[in-house]
Amino acid sequence: MTASSGISSRKSDRVVPQWRVLIGSRSFGQAFPEHLVELEQAGCRVVPNPVGRALREQELLEAIQGCDAIITGTDELTARVIAAANRLKTIVKHGVGLETIDLAAARARGIIVSFTPGTIQDSVADLTMALLLALARKIVPAHLSTQQGSWEPLFGMELRDTTLGLVGLGQIGKAVCVRAQAFGMRVLAHDPYPDERFAVEHEVTLVSLAELLSASDVVSLHAAAEQVHGTLIGADELRAMKPGALLVNTARGRLVDETALAEALSEGRLGGAGIDAFVEEPPIGSPLLSLDNVVLTPHLGGRTLGGQRRMGEICIQNCLRALRGQVPLFPVSTSAR
């Protein structure tokens, strides 16, 4: 084969893009750029996020024009955006939370919505336990004290025989339950649609939210944001918690009233809080930033290499199947929680 014929052959192998796919999610393709390549090799023209963060409604009105699909993180896919999307066939959630997608508007337009359940529950559960342990053993102030040369061995809290209250007993809540019980914790749970079989098998006591708050040494939030209207943990709920109790939120920022939480922490009514999700991200100006009895992380619950690989692979399949007229692996309308 001559050099010229080789070049010709390579050119003929190039895939002509059939679809435009807007990448809204900031993490899709970040750890695994080969996921973007896989879309291109399947006939997609990848359109990168033009602003480097979650796209807001006004930005999406322009960015989504001419796109057949969007792989979304927390972009504002409102009814107005969906109505303006002139070619959109599918919305592919890179994750599981659907509260930023107007599902009714998508359904009315015949736009297929899919998500990626079962990919990051272990990642989020691991971080939940990391935050809990950091709070219980005062890891952050102990680290700073040691680093600064003051060598102050702080007294912490032992987890055995304490009570963990899980607000939400979905896949992540169940994964946290198993981990907490390995530390000898008793587990209570509140969930509007509880898995009673799991509760029986794992000796989880199902209770009302009020009972959970008053009885738990640690409250960990795993409620699906789309099932909660407004704030779940406000001033009244914080007052109902045990004095010195810990609060962990690796779910959604809007579940917690940050101002009321900061007051409870600064007054010493709560022992501490581990927060991975904020009302505004990044949480510029949040009253939580100035407290020393908190552990704050930048919404990294699902950011493990294993979790991102699984999530990206399912996103690709969901996207391509929908564009080809097939049923995605996990369509929102038929997927179990």
Catalytic center residues: 252, 281, 299
Answer whether the bond into residue 283 is a cis peptide, omega within 30°: no
Give the chain's radius of gyration (CA, Å). Answer: 23
Question: Cβ(165)–Cβ(176) under 8 Å?
Answer: no
- Identify whether the C-beta of residue 126 lies closer than 8 Å to the C-beta of residue 105: no
Say which residues have a Cβ less than 8 Å from residue 293's Cβ, sequence separation at least 6: 265, 270, 271, 272, 273
Contact between 94 and 74 under an 8 Å Cβ cutoff? The reply is: no
